[in-house]
Amino acid sequence: MPDDLGALLDPWDFALPDAQIAREPTAERDQSRLYRVDGAPGVFADITTELRAGDVLVMNDVRVFRARLRAFRASGGAVEAMISAPEGDDFHAFLRPGRRLQVGDRLTCGAGALVLVARHADGTWTVRPEPDLDTLAATAGEVPLPPYLGRAPTAEDAERYQTVFARPGDLRASAAPTAGLHMTTRLLERIEAAGVQVVRVALEVGAGTFAPLTAAAWTAGTLHTERYIVPEGTWNAVAAARSEGRRVVSLGTTTLRVLESMTGPGAGETDIFIRPGYAFKRVDALITNFHLPRSSLLMLVSAFGGTPRVLEAYADAVKLGFRFYSYGDAMWLTRSER
At residue 1 the predicted structure's pLDDT band, cuts being 50, 70 and 90, is very low
Dihedral pair phi/psi, residue 104, rounded to 5°: 100, -15
The rounded distance, in Å, linking the Cα atoms of 103 and 114 is 11
Which H helix or E strand runs over 287? strand 285-289
The rounded distance, in Å, linking the Cα atoms of 77 and 107 is 10
Using alpha carbons only, how large is the chain's radius of gyration in Å? 20
Each residue's pLDDT tens digit, 278-326: 999 999 999 999 999 999 999 999 999 999 999 999 999 999 999 999 9
Each residue's pLDDT tens digit, 10-45: 999 999 999 999 999 999 999 999 999 999 999 999
Mean pLDDT over each residue of the chain, to the nearest integer: 95
Strands 266-272 and 222-230: antiparallel
- What domains can be seen in the chain, in order of their start residue? 5-64+156-334 (3.40.1780.10), 68-142 (2.40.10.240)
Q: State pTM to two decimals.
A: 0.95
* Cβ 16 vs Cβ 324: under 8 Å: yes
At residue 338 the predicted structure's pLDDT band, cuts being 50, 70 and 90, is low
Each residue's pLDDT tens digit, 97-123: 988 999 999 999 999 999 999 999 888
